[in-house]
Amino acid sequence: MTEPSSPATFLYEEHPDHPGWMRWGFTDPSRYNSFLGPMMVRIEGGIARVRMTPERRHSNLRDSVHGGAMLGFIDVALFAASRSFGLITAGSAVTLDLSTQFIGGGRIGEPLEAQVELLRETGRLLFLRGLVVQDEEKVASFSATIRKSAKTAAQ
């Protein structure tokens, strides 16, 4: 299904090339999310798995994933996870805080996966935590709080 949102259209639909995964992102290429490239998400055992494949444009001078690109990916993964958990819709929440610990360098050209867990939901808040992994290697850990809009919280 493609969800309308203002001011951009949001994509959340079955991925045609990866059964069991949903495609995630804006259809407007001028939005920030498009910088991160194609993403996909699925729920397994209460964990949302969000994937992207970093490209050269996401690299630092060491040819690893730039910390800013990693933070952007984590932030977007929080929303992909929350949508996949059925807790928000497009444009219906904001990040209140995001704490990240970089554990290792991400490699360019290999899928990165944010594994996001919902710790608690209150009326307007979502408390989440997770790991970013590449194969079996831990790249970052994070915790975050998202605030749902008043309209979303009332639904």
- β-pairing verdict for 112-121 and 125-134: antiparallel
**pTM assigned to the model:** 0.88
**What structural domains does the chain harbor?**
2-154 (3.10.129.10)
Task: Report d(CA 40, CA 8) in Å as an integer.
Answer: 19
Residue 5 has a pLDDT of 44
* Torsion sign over Cα 7, 96, 125, 129: positive
Q: Which helix (H) or strand (E) holds 111?
A: none
pLDDT in tens, 116-140: 999 999 999 999 999 999 999 999 9
Whether pLDDT at 2 is above 50 = no
Residue 98 has a pLDDT of 98
